[in-house]
Amino acid sequence: MKGVTDIFISKQKLAIFWFLVAVGCLVGTAYHLYGVAIEGRSRMLYVPIEQADVYIDSTLSKQELDDLVDFQTRLTMETFLNRGPKGVVTPGRLGFLFTEAGFEQAAQDIKDSSYDFRTRQIHQMVELGEVSILHKSDGGASSRVSGQIIRVSIDPVEAQAVTQVYSIIANLEWDRNRNLRDKKRFAYVCRDLQYSAKEISSSEKP
């Protein structure tokens, strides 16, 4: 106890004491900031504000906003349409990319086709072309994309591999992300996805 008292009596020891306290605070703050930086690495961060779902810097150009929706359109289409006999290749993404209503819509489409994918051992992959984007006054957006689906399956009768190619056109409706706590990487979430596919070639015998 005497040693502690001596610190506050001696000016020299008191100065050293507070110097060490200051250094400790700086080191602790630096360690905390480093942890935050590591946690937030490689993800987009958005700040919730009172009058909107998310804050996007007003200095962003239209091209930068287009790039954001373009990226999410491609990621959503690939997540939704890249499938195998057991379902979508990356099912964990679906909950992040869709609203609740959009997720139910996507899940129903996947369920409706699951029997064919399982019995015919279908593997399919989507290839996308240019994405056209329209931004809305409420902060949402619409996107339209065309491309093709390449599908490889096994004919259950002939037991031979069949390759089919479909042309595809899809329209997606985007809302601002309201769930920033669980979906930090995405400024937009898809509430509606409508697409049409038309077979353009097949190796199956006529």
* Domain boundaries along the sequence of the chain: 2-39, 58-202
d(CA 96, CA 88): 14
pLDDT band at 9 (very low <50, low <70, confident <90, very high): low
Q: Which class in CATH covers the domain with range 58-202?
A: alpha beta
Helix (H) or strand (E) holding 160: none
Instruction: Determine contact, residues 197/166, Cβ cutoff 8 Å.
Output: yes
Q: In this model, does residue 120 exceed pLDDT 50? A: yes
pLDDT higher than threshold 80 for residue 4: no
pLDDT tens sequence across 47-89 = 544 555 455 656 667 888 888 899 999 999 999 999 999 999 9
pLDDT at 44 over 50: no
pLDDT tens figures, 136-174: 888 889 999 999 999 999 887 777 889 999 999 999 999
